[in-house]
Amino acid sequence: METALPGTTYMPQPGDRPPWVRFVAHIACGPVGDDADWPRIRAAFETFLQTPAVAELLADLTHAGRDAAWARQATSTSSIIDLVLGDGVASARLELPDGIKRHGRVEGYALLVVHVEPRGADGESAPPASPFSWRRRFERALQLQGAFAALLSGELGLATSGEPPAQAGIRLEAPRDMTELVDITGLAALPGAQRLSQFMVYLAACPDGAGAVSVADRMTRQMLEEALKVDLGADIELQDHHAC
């Protein structure tokens, strides 16, 4: 989750960065062959980023502009593919197992990273979104796992498995506090609360796990309680009206 991707403002010091969001998918996957067709793989990844699973999530988070397109960036090896959208509103990375050990990487996994800087049409940081909007975004983000698995096994013809289990990570970070990303208008904060500037969660797939809708709801409530210090009370329903 600390990997710096090209084309974003992730590298400046934390107080100088705009708010950003990152989604990660980690799926057990067989290695690419020595004779892998990398131009075809890169083209398939770029097409994947334009499918509804990714494009609709990005459209809900940020404004990229009508003419924005994904552009390839230089990487240290063919098995790592970096693409940047427009002027850096989003960045994406695909890492495929190639049999080479790398620091900080677990062998036998394919990795997808999507990094987004929410912006409005004016190019400035987008206004904070309601908890309902974030619940919907979390649900869409969790569906990336299935779409990514389909890319690996379908388009790329790689062998995927559930052992070790697929993993997902979601991280939201703001320069000062989470109200720069989440609108909590109308919600009561706990007395003496100090809001956090970051919310991060990791998940692993399991046969008896909860579905995306249920997990997204739990994540939203966890974000409100732990990062934004909101008093949810005994029985709160998420509504699309800046309130819970």
Instruction: Give the three-class secondary structure for 152.
Output: helix
Q: Residue written as tokens 């197992």?
A: 97
Which residues are CB-neighbours of 124 under 8 A, at least 6 positions away?
none
Digitized pLDDT (tens) for each residue of the chain, 244 residues in all: 556 676 666 555 555 678 999 999 999 999 898 888 999 999 999 999 999 999 999 999 999 877 889 999 988 888 899 999 988 889 999 999 987 776 666 778 999 999 999 999 998 889 999 999 999 999 999 999 999 999 999 999 999 988 888 999 999 999 889 999 999 998 988 888 899 999 999 999 888 888 888 999 999 999 999 999 998 874 455 544 333 3
- Give residue limits of the domains in the chain: 14-227
Alpha helices in 111-203 (DSSP H): 131-142, 144-150
